[in-house]
Amino acid sequence: MTSFDEQRLIQLTRDGDYDAFNRLVIEYQDAVFAVVLRTVRNRAVAEDITQDTFISAFRKISSYRGGIFRAWLFRIAKNASLDYLRKIARRSETSIDEDIVYFSETVSDDKQDPVADALNAELARLIEHCMSGLSDEHRFAMVLIDVEGYQYDEAAESIGVSIGTVKSRLNRARARMRDCVQQDPELLPASMRLYNKEN
Amino acid sequence: MARRLLNRLTGRTYSSNDAVNAYVEGTASSDEIRLVKEMVRKNVALEKDLYTQQALRAVLGKIEKIEAPRSFAITPEMVAAAAGSDSWLSRLAEVFETQRTLALAPAIIAVIAALSVALLTIGDITGVVDQSDSSFSMAAIAESDSTISGSATGSDGPTGASGAQGNPGSPGSLGSFDQSAVTTEMAAAVQAPTSADAGLGLSVPEPTGQADSAPFERTVDDAGGTALLVIPEGNAIGELSTTKSAGPDESIANNDLIPSDAPTSPSLGTEFAYGGELVSSPSSNKGISLPLRQLQAGLAALAVAAIGAWVGLRRARGE
């Protein structure tokens, strides 16, 4: 979809065109759902929040004043996700799926290794555990940039802070993740372990 | 901390943060690489950290992309249902949606209220503002409904002899107080230099109005209380005091209820105002007398409510 198309669809949405908005939904639903799921770590809740995000976006489309539309959607999704997390924190509830993090390819150096899958699962669990230890804001920055691969400007717009703040948060998040994963060095990929051995 | 603040004020970013991030991401410029290498030279442990972070980032990058499990396309019914379940705060936020600057109103109110509380506190500490008697309240006013209040004449402004005719239905009168009767009696009392009734009377230097020697005593409380106007003989100005729970509170209320533009001619209203002062205020006020505690509490509550409204509106708007 070209930028022009997106703007045209947004304009049609302002006029109350559901079909136009639903084309935007189809374009961005994977991205929004992924970010929400990695933030709240519960599939059922993530589906609800994603749906609410798009409903809310349709209703608030008049408040969209340019910029990256996906980042605007992320911002709505982020607020809804953090609201949910604050709510369950107040109730001291824990409702987290354990299979959010998994890898598209093995992180082991030896793809023929029969224990690679088991290690992958363990590493995924470790990553999930370490990410859950981050603050919500730090995790959100890390998910957007390191996991989903978005640019700093888009992440900054999504979070509603400056690029410098995003970089600072990301820096701290990476440092904490580094400290956390090194508690179980045997689960780390060979490259990281080799480095540890050498030093 | 100071450096951080200074950097923020001058718009400078953390060059070391930027350089480290860029190095970990593999997008560092030659200057950034040089800076990182210099940092590594000073801190050998940093090299290991950077390497670990690079590996970690590689691992995170391999996390599988997630796809939406279903379509999240919306329908008019969904939107209508969402609109129906909106909180009042969300609806209020929608009102401010088009006029975003109006949404700052609660914040401005909060600031003004907080500043007022601070000023009142400072005024209280420095003695510029004094706490007035706590009985100045609506309850006190209601209580004084049954008393002869100076405002009964002062509010509608009959002066001198004209007050003798009464002025029923004055907007400034108090509650069920039978003002016309009292003003008539007052006028009568004004015209009667002395009263033979139980030693109660009024002495006024220049009595005006149509004379009537009615005693200056009246029951005004339907509940059975009796209020008396006691103006001692020989007091040229006159002094007002009330009985029935007559205490300083009511006198202060009388005093405060008399408007500043009360009649200045030798009239009943003036005398009441003066009489009120004579018996008023158990505390001698040097500064401005205000219901300080009530004002502070009220303004503080207003500030808290305004902050809550501002935060609520921001959240409802998704900011």
User: Is any Cβ of chain A less than 8 angstroms from the Cβ of B77?
Assistant: no
Average pLDDT over residues B211-231: 45
ipTM score here?
A: 0.80
CB–CB contact A59 B79 (8 Å): yes
Which of A54, A73, A97 corresponds to the end of one domain?
A97
Locate the chain A residue with the closest alpha carbon to B56.
Answer: A178
Residues A137 and A83 in one domain: no
What's the gap between Cα B47 and its chain centre? 61
Interface of A with B in 122-181 (CB under 8 A): 123-124, 127, 142, 146-149, 160, 163-164, 167-168, 170-171, 174-175, 177-178, 181
Closest by CA to A72, choosing from A63, A81, A59, A84, is A63
DSSP label at B64? P
Residues A1 and A91 in one domain: yes
User: Which range among A156-165, B124-133, B190-199 has the greatest average pLDDT?
Assistant: A156-165
Which domain does A28 fall in, by range? 1-97
User: Is any Cβ of chain A less than 8 angstroms from the Cβ of B34?
Assistant: no
Residues B269 and B194 in one domain: yes
Which has more pLDDT, B258 or B26? B26
Amino acid at B254: N
Residues 6+ apart with CB under 8 A from A100: A37, A38, A41, A128
User: Is any Cβ of chain A less than 8 angstroms from the Cβ of B86?
Assistant: no
User: Is any Cβ of chain B less than 8 angstroms from the Cβ of A120?
Assistant: no
CB–CB contact A103 B75 (8 Å): no
- Percentage with pLDDT > 70 across chain B: 39
Which of A75, A97, A119 corresponds to the end of one domain?
A97
Torsion of CA B103, B104, B109, B111, to 10 degrees: 150
Residues A93 and A132 in one domain: no
Identify the pLDDT of residue B266: 43
Q: Which residue has the tokens 């409380």?
A: B221
Which has more pLDDT, A41 or A173? A173
Which of A97, A118, A153 corresponds to the end of one domain?
A97
Which of B43, B61, B79 corresponds to the end of one domain?
B61
A10 band by pLDDT with thresholds 50, 70 and 90 = very high
B234 band by pLDDT with thresholds 50, 70 and 90 = very low
Q: Which of A101-115, A147-161, B232-246 has the lowest mean pLDDT?
A: B232-246
Beta-carbon contacts below 8 Å between A and B: 140
Given a cut of 80, is residue B68 above it in pLDDT?
A: yes
Q: Return left, alpha or beta for B43; rule: phi > 0 is left, psi -120 to 50 is alpha, else beta.
A: beta
Spatial distance between the Cα atoms of B74 and B132, rounded to a whole number of angstroms:
62
Per the CB < 8 A criterion, the answer to whether B311 and B106 are in contact is no
How many Cβ atoms are within 10 Å of B196's Cβ, its own excluded? 10
Q: How far is B39 from chain A (nearest CA, A)?
A: 16
CB–CB contact B72 A189 (8 Å): no
The pairing of beta strand B129-131 with beta strand B288-290:
parallel
In a domain, B141, yes or no: no
Per the CB < 8 A criterion, the answer to whether A101 and A124 are in contact is yes
Spatial distance between the Cα atoms of B106 and B104, rounded to a whole number of angstroms:
6
CB–CB contact B75 A175 (8 Å): no
User: Three-class SS of residue B290?
Assistant: strand
Identify the pLDDT of residue A85: 86
Which domain does B290 fall in, by range? 70-132+285-319
Total domains in chain A come to 2
Residues A81 and A112 in one domain: no
CB–CB contact B59 A25 (8 Å): no
Spatial distance between the Cα atoms of B71 and A111, rounded to a whole number of angstroms:
35
Locate the chain B residue with the closest alpha carbon to A169.
Answer: B17
Task: Kindly list the distances between the CA atom of residue A61 and the CA atoms of A1, A10, A155, B86, in Å, as whole numbers in the listed order.
Answer: 19, 8, 20, 17
Locate the chain A residue with the closest alpha carbon to B21.
Answer: A171
Residues A93 and A103 in one domain: no
**CATH number of A119's domain:** 1.10.10.10
DSSP label at B65? P
Residues B209 and B268 in one domain: yes
Residues B277 and B289 in one domain: no
CB–CB contact A167 B17 (8 Å): yes
Identify the pLDDT of residue B82: 82
A133 band by pLDDT with thresholds 50, 70 and 90 = confident
What is the SS3 assignment for chain A? CCHHHHHHHHHHHHCCCHHHHHHHHHHHHHHHHHHHHHHHCCHHHHHHHHHHHHHHHHHCHHHCCCCCHHHHHHHHHHHHHHHHHHHHHHCCCCCCCCCCCCECCCCCCCCCCCCHHHHHHHHHHHHHHHHHCCCHHHHHHHHHHHHCCCCHHHHHHHHCCCHHHHHHHHHHHHHHHHHHHCCCHHHCCHHHHHHHHHC
Q: Which two tokens stand for residue B176?
A: 């069920």
Which has more pLDDT, B126 or A115? B126
Which stretches of chain B are DSSP H helices? 2-10, 15-25, 30-42, 45-61, 76-84, 88-98, 105-126, 138-143, 151-154, 179-191, 248-257, 268-279, 292-316
Residues of chain B neighbouring A59 (CB-CB closer than 8 A): 79, 82-83
Residues A80 and A117 in one domain: no
In terms of pTM, does the model score above 0.80? no
Torsion of CA B77, B79, B80, B86, to 10 degrees: 140
Residues A86 and A112 in one domain: no
Which has more pLDDT, B281 or B50? B50
Residues A69 and A107 in one domain: no
Residues A79 and A125 in one domain: no
Residues A82 and A114 in one domain: no
Residue B218 phi, psi (nearest 5): -155, 140
Measured on CA atoms in the order B283, B288, B290, B292, is the torsion positive or negative?
Answer: negative
A33 band by pLDDT with thresholds 50, 70 and 90 = very high
User: Which range among A126-135, B85-94, B194-203, B270-279 has the greatest average pLDDT?
Assistant: A126-135
CB–CB contact B74 A54 (8 Å): yes
What is the SS3 assignment for B109-174? HHHHHHHHHHHHHHHHHHCCEEECCCCCCHHHHHHHHHCCCCHHHHCCCCCHHHHHHCCCCCCCCC
Q: What is the mean pLDDT of chain B?
A: 62
Given a cut of 80, is residue B308 above it in pLDDT?
A: yes
| Cα atoms in the 13 Å half-sphere on the side-chain side of B311 | 7
Residues of chain A neighbouring B65 (CB-CB closer than 8 A): 30, 34, 104, 148
Q: What is the mean pLDDT of chain A?
A: 81
What does the pLDDT look like over A46-84, one tens digit per residue? 999 999 999 999 998 988 888 889 999 999 999 899 888
Residues A35 and A83 in one domain: yes
User: Is any Cβ of chain A less than 8 angstroms from the Cβ of B9?
Assistant: no
CB–CB contact B48 A175 (8 Å): no
Q: Which residue in the set B49, B70, B97 is minimally distant from A178, CB to CB? A: B49
Interface test with A, best of B18, B46, B52 (most A CBs within 10 A): B52
Measured on CA atoms in the order B174, B175, B178, B180, is the torsion positive or negative?
Answer: positive
Helix or strand (DSSP H, E) at B289: strand B288-290
Residues A76 and A110 in one domain: no
Interface of A with B in 22-51 (CB under 8 A): 22, 25-26, 29-30, 32-34, 37-38, 43, 47, 50-51
Which of B38, B61, B84 corresponds to the end of one domain?
B61
Task: Kindly list the distances between the CA atom of residue B98 and the CA atoms of A9, B14, B101, B201, in Å, as whole numbers in the listed order.
Answer: 21, 37, 9, 68
